[in-house]
C-alpha cells in the first residue's frame, strides 16, 4: 500500500508542476541553467508523454546556458534511471 501511495504522490506532484516543462520558444528570456537542467532531466519521461498532446512541450530546453544545463540534465537522467537499476529485491530467506 505504501508503494501505491508513493507512486500516486509523485505523479500528482509532477503533474502539478507541469508548468515547468521545457518549451520550444523563441523568446529571449533568461536561459535555463544548472538547476532547471536537473528539473528537466527528472521530468523528461513525463515531458515525452506530454509532448504527444502539446507540440510546444519539449524534453530539452533549447534556450539554455550550455554546459551547465547539459550537466544538470544528464545528472538527473543518469541518477533517475540508473538509480532504478541499483535497487535490489529483498530475498525471503
Is the pLDDT at 92 greater than 70? The verdict is no
Long-range pairs for 46-49 at CB < 8 Å and ≥24 separation? Answer: 46/14, 46/15, 46/18, 46/21, 47/21, 47/22
The backbone torsions φ and ψ at residue 64, rounded to the nearest 5 degrees and listed phi first, read -135, 175
Q: Could you report the per-residue pLDDT of 2-20, keeping only the tens digit for each?
A: 888 888 887 887 677 666 6
Task: Report the pLDDT averaged over residues 24-28.
Answer: 62
Residue 34, Cβ density class (10 Å: 0-12 exposed, 13-18 middle, ≥19 buried): middle
Is the pLDDT at 88 greater than 70? The verdict is no
Task: Report the pLDDT averaged over residues 50-55.
Answer: 84
pLDDT at position 48, please? 86
Amino acid at each position: 500500500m505504501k508503494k501505491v501511495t508513493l507512486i500516486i504522490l509523485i505523479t500528482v506532484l509532477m503533474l502539478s508542476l507541469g508548468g515547468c516543462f521545457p518549451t520550444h520558444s523563441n523568446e529571449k528570456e533568461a536561459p535555463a541553467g544548472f538547476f532547471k537542467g536537473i528539473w528537466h532531466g527528472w521530468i523528461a519521461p513525463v515531458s515525452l508523454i506530454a509532448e504527444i498532446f502539446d507540440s510546444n512541450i519539449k524534453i530539452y530546453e533549447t534556450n539554455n546556458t550550455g554546459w551547465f544545463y547539459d550537466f544538470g540534465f544528464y545528472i538527473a537522467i543518469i541518477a533517475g534511471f540508473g538509480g532504478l537499476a541499483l535497487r535490489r529485491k529483498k530475498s525471503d530467506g
